[in-house]
Structure formats: structure tokens, C-alpha cells
DNA sequence: AATTAATTATGAACACTGTTCAATAAGTAT
DNA sequence: ATACTTATTGAACAGTGTTCATAATTAATT
């Protein structure tokens, strides 16, 4: 058999990504394979490799769509006007909730690494950067006197921390004898951290609220 | 060929684990395979499966040894007597430093998951628990009035947070335009969090220092 | 309309993977 | 010396991602 043109290039990409996405809603990525995907969408393995470059690149496209979904989910709770601390907590909770709801897809985003020679495309970096920009803006409102450098640093610390709790929560490695809901953990984390930041030793004055 | 008894059961385990460990000091686990390990230690793949149960179980033994090393590395900085806040920061820095020095081994610990039916043996859980116990004791010294529940919760939040920054640091996903050393990030995290915890709204009195 | 050129999907082949299992040799007990 | 148990194996199995010549379809050119 040969050239078919049943579907456009975009369509193949979409079919692939969306099928993998629904697969990941039930099974984890480790049990998935290029050949399964190929069979599922009715093309040969070779075709998919032609299309995406490699299986790894295919998964990267899946990750892109996951990050879009995540971004979307987090935009929901982010209403303008309320106090920034509460908004940050909202963001974090959305992050956690998304990870717990899309365990396999979410894990794939952070565990998938390309092989040596292929490096992360910038359309992927951009998606990650959106998170920081939002967070930084909120942090600025929390502590208006903070320098750009300080905001940058704190955004990373805060995101990293929430991410850490999320990773462990998703893997059930946070087994607490006293079972506190994970949501409350990120809340406690953020309130304590922000309050410590604003009243902190070598810090400037505080922003609205807190 | 058949039974050889060149090595005892323990020796085979040790040879395997230590060879994989040195492998991981340069290459990552994804490029490793049961067959490579088998060839390296001079046994057949089947023998290793008989021994460990599965390749996954083999890797679990490697993870155990990694956790032992980690535990050892963290014990170094943990000298009794100094103020608990500084000690917690030391712990966290050791954690980060270890992860950065043993990237591949460390990643394997947190990314390796057994298949459906095999569940994590308790000799693995115990190793993870050691961390918490240490941390909880230090936290108790920071805030002596804190309840057991509160200590438990805060130990998890704190460890999760440090873990998160570490994960991202190891994966170079913490790309900051302003490049703050990662060490300083965990320090800032902990100081702010602890100070926020002790002076916090619904909190008890504070402990020694801070 | 007929011919050529460019494109695209393919199946077969390749070198690998973890795992199973009958055959077999070595060690132990009778 | 015989029987039994145990450890190790190679071959086979079903699977993996990737390569590539082959072939078929579309597009461009005569």
C-alpha cells in the first residue's frame, strides 16, 4: 500500500494526540507503545515516525496538549480582584487537582525526557513559562516592594514546592498516618511561606493584605 | 551449562547492585537493560530473573542502596546541638546535593514504579520513613508546642517542597533568567516557611530560636 | 491527455527488550 | 553409588522503536 491522503498532516497529529490522551486517562504511559498507537489510528508505525520524528517526539506533542489542558484548568480559578494570596492558593489547588485527575498524562509531562541529541522545542518552553508569568504577577501584588529578581526567585521556589507535594501526592508517596487532604497541605504551605516572606528578616514592606 | 556456585546469593545481589550503581553514575537508567546487567556480571538474564523476581525488582534493590547512600549523606550534616532551623536547612541541602551528584540513581528512585501486582516491599517504606522521623524531631524543636499531627503534616509539606525543587533542579526545569543557586532556593524556602509557621495565625508558641 | 517528478505510506527486516521454560549440570542427602 | 534437590542456562516468544527500499498516489510539466 502507499500514499492515502485520507487525513491531512494536522488531522493525523490530532487523531494521535487525542487517542493517546484518552488512553492515558485509564492506563499509564509505560504500557503504551508506538505500535499500539499506530494500530489504533489505522496507520503504520513508520508513518508516525515520519510524522513526529520519533516516538519520543510524539509523546512530546501529547505533553503539549496536556500542558494546554492544565493551563486551561488553572485559568478557571484565577478571577481578577480577590486577594492575591487566595488566588495563588487557588492556582496551586488547581494544579494539584489537575494532576490527580490526569495522573498518567501529568506524570508523562515530567518524566518524559528526549534522547541526547534532540532538545526541548521552544513551543514547549513557552507553555511552562505561562505558569511563571501568572504566578509572578500575583506575587507582585502580595509584596509590591519586591524586586524583579526576588519575584523570579520566589515564583520558582513556590512552584517547585507545590510541584513537589503534587508529585508525591500523585504517586501516593505522601502516606501520612494522619491523613490530611492534599489540598490542605498546599494551602498550609503557601500561607506559611507567604507570611514568612512578607514579615521575613531581610525583606521589604508588605503588599495588599496578609 | 548449569549450576556454578561461583558466587553466593548475596554476592550476586551485591555484584549486580554495585555494577548498576556505577553504570548510573554516568548513564541514565532508561538506556540500561536486564541483558546488559547480565552480561556485565557474567550471568544469564534468566539467572537474574530467578534471583530478583523481575527486572523491576532488581531495580528496586538498586533504589534501596541509593536510599541508603542518601541516608548516609544526610547524616553527615546533622550534628546535634545547633539550632534546629539550620539543621533542617542542612538536611535539605544535603538532599539537593545528593540528587545533583547522583542524578540518574536518584531519579530512578522516584520514577521507577512496579507493575500492577507487585507492591512496594516494606523494607523500602522503612527507608523513606527514616527521613520523616529525623525531620519531625527537628520540627519539634523548632516549635515545641506543635501537636504530633501538626508535626506530621509539616514534615510532609516541607519534605515535599524540598523534593519538588530538587526534582526540577535535577531536570534543569528550574531555568531562571536570574540564576540563583539551587542551594539558596531551598534555604529561602525553609526560612520563610518556618518563620511563617511559628508566627502563623492559628499557631501555638514558638520553640528555640527563630 | 500523457509523462514525469515529488511526495507519502508501507511492510519487511533489524537489533533490541523482559520473560518463560525444558534441559542439564552441579551440589547434597540417602 | 544412587536419588533428590537446586541453580544456571540457551533457545524461544512476543514485544519494542527505528530504518529503508518499494510502491502507490498526487502534483507538476510537457
Is pLDDT of B122 > 60? yes
pLDDT top residue among B22 and A115:
B22
Share of chain B above pLDDT 70, in %: 92
Q: What is the pLDDT of residue B76?
A: 79
Residue B148 is assigned to a structural domain of this protein: yes
Task: Specify the DSSP class assigned to residue A207.
Answer: -
CATH of residue B162: 1.10.357.10
pLDDT band for B6, please (50, 70, 90 cuts): confident
Q: Which of A42-56, B5-19, B167-181 has the lowest mean pLDDT?
A: B167-181
Residue A208 is assigned to a structural domain of this protein: no
Q: How many CB pairs under 8 A join A and B?
A: 138
Is pLDDT of A139 > 70? yes
CA distance B41 to chain A (A): 26
Mean pLDDT for A72-99 is 89
| Structural domain for B184, as ranges | 57-199
Q: Which of the nucleotides in strand C have any atom less than 7 Å away from a protein CB atom?
A: 7-12, 16-27
Q: What is the pLDDT of residue B204?
A: 43
String of b and e for B12-29 (b: at least 16 CB within 10 Å)? bbebbbeebbebbeeebb
Q: What is the pLDDT of residue A62?
A: 97
pLDDT band for B91, please (50, 70, 90 cuts): very high
**Tally of domains in chain B:** 1
Residue A186 is assigned to a structural domain of this protein: yes
Helices in chain A by DSSP H: which ranges?
9-24, 34-41, 45-52, 55-77, 84-101, 103-111, 122-142, 148-170, 182-199
| Greatest extent of chain B over all pairs of C-alpha atoms, in Å | 72
Q: What is the pLDDT of residue A208?
A: 57
* CB < 8 Å to B176, chain A: 152-153, 156
Nearest CA in chain B to A168: B160
pLDDT band for B202, please (50, 70, 90 cuts): very low
Determine whether the interchain pair B192/A200 forms a contact, defined as Cβ–Cβ distance below 8 Å. Answer: yes
**Quick check: A10 CB within 7 A of strand C?**
no
Residue A49 is assigned to a structural domain of this protein: no
**Quick check: B50 CB within 7 A of strand D?**
yes
Q: What is the pLDDT of residue B206?
A: 46
Question: Cβ(B163)–Cβ(B108) under 8 Å?
Answer: no
Q: Which of A22-26, A148-152, A187-191 has the lowest mean pLDDT?
A: A148-152
Which of these, B71, B138, B159, B68, lies nearest to A174 by C-alpha position?
A: B159
Residue B18 is assigned to a structural domain of this protein: no
Residue B44 is assigned to a structural domain of this protein: no
Residue B126 is assigned to a structural domain of this protein: yes
pLDDT band for A130, please (50, 70, 90 cuts): confident
CA B209/CA B143 separation, integer angstroms:
9
Which of these, B149, B152, B162, lies nearest to B132 by C-alpha position?
A: B152
Task: Specify the DSSP class assigned to residue A29.
Answer: G
Please report the residues numbered 65 through 124 in chain A whose beta carbons come closer than 8 angstroms to any beta carbon of chain B. Answer: 110-111, 113
Of A163, A168, A177, the CB nearest to B152: A177
* CB < 8 Å to B129, chain A: none
Residue B134 is assigned to a structural domain of this protein: yes
Would you report the helix, strand and coil content of chain A in percent, each value rounded to 5?
A: 70, 0, 30
Determine whether the interchain pair A163/B162 forms a contact, defined as Cβ–Cβ distance below 8 Å. Answer: no
CA A182/CA B92 separation, integer angstroms:
21
Amino acid at each position: 500500500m502507499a500514499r492515502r491522503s485520507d487525513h491531512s498532516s494536522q488531522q493525523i497529529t490530532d487523531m494521535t494526540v487525542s487517542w493517546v490522551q484518552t488512553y492515558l486517562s485509564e492506563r499509564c504511559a509505560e504500557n503504551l507503545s508506538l505500535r499500539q498507537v499506530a494500530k489504533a489510528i489505522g496507520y503504520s508505525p513508520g508513518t508516525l515516525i515520519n510524522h513526529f520524528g520519533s516516538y519520543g517526539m510524539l509523546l512530546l506533542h501529547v505533553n503539549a496538549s496536556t500542558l494546554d489542558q492544565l493551563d486551561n484548568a488553572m485559568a478557571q480559578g484565577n478571577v481578577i480582584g480577590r486577594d492575591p494570596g487566595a488566588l495563588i492558593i487557588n492556582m496551586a489547588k488547581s494544579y494539584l487537582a489537575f494532576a490527580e485527575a490526569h495522573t498518567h498524562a501529568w506524570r508523562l509531562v515530567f518524566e518524559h525526557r528526549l534522547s541526547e541529541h534532540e532538545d526541548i522545542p521552544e513551543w514547549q518552553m513557552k507553555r511552562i513559562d505561562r505558569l511563571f508569568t501568572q504566578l509572578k504577577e500575583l506575587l507582585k501584588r502580595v509584596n509590591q516592594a519586591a524586586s524583579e529578581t526576588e519575584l523570579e526567585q520566589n515564583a520558582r521556589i513556590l512552584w517547585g514546592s507545590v510541584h513537589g507535594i503534587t508529585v508525591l501526592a500523585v504517586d501516593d508517596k505522601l502516606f501520612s498516618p494522619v491523613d490530611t487532604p492534599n489540598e490542605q497541605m498546599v494551602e498550609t504551605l503557601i500561607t506559611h511561606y507567604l507570611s514568612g516572606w512578607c514579615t521575613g528578616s531581610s525583606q521589604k514592606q508588605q503588599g495588599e493584605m496578609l
